[in-house]
Structure 1
């Protein structure tokens, strides 16, 4: 039985590279560094994407810890990805436009063995919607409004 939930995000690009969005009661800004002709007002879209993945893993980690009655004191999540910027700059490349590889490392502060922490992280990543979207193909539809 599917109980699909839709999440909506709206963003606006005005002058330069600054993209502003209102998500619920929060305002967000994505930009490019000054060295790339941006205003440097926020992280790049790629940085925000990786941050969102780290945030999702942390959130699912907290949910899983509550459910399993694990005293999770905290998690430090590092997410890094490799990509070739040639494609997004309109230059020829044989590489895909997105990340070639994304690596996730987590330091888990809990009274668990290393094997238990590894199993916990495996479960968290399996349950994380953004991890799922980066691992599996997701249909993306675009159109002019």
Structure 2
């Protein structure tokens, strides 16, 4: 899977993310940081991926168990005040609609901790390699 990121406009910070066969996504930063605030910022996508992965994992488990789960609501709240010191906190509140059994609800919450993004964020070493690539120069049309 390759994601292509391109600056959206001259002098602005908004970026366009292109992922094969999906609608493009926009990424921006809030106005106080020099952006237009017209799209989620990178932290938003990071946090969103955790919430969505937890919901999907719970739904998949409930479906496999044939539990009456009708849907999942997730609220992710970030506390980034210590991020520069290496601590980024995410509080995830989950509601399991259609499940009244407290044991099933507890099991769905427990299973959500095993979603791939939760594991990636909490127990993996992520290695990032960044390198420059020369800009392609195109001859003017005409």
Rg bigger for which structure? 2
User: TM-score category by the smaller chain?
Assistant: 0.7 to 0.9
Q: CA RMSD in A?
A: 2.0
Contact 1:64 1:124 in 2 (8 A): no
Contact 1:19 1:31 in 2 (8 A): yes
- TM-score (norm: length of structure 2): 0.79
1:31 aligns with one of 28, 42, 51: 28
Structure 2 residue 66 is the aligned partner of structure 1 residue 69: yes
Structure 2 residue 125 is the aligned partner of structure 1 residue 138: yes
Distance 2:39 2:91 in 1: 23
- TM-score (norm: length of structure 1): 0.78
Aligned residues: 129
Gaps of 5+ in 1: 1-6, 88-94
Contact 2:57 2:111 in 1 (8 A): no
Contact 2:99 2:105 in 1 (8 A): no
Distance 1:116 1:63 in 2: 14
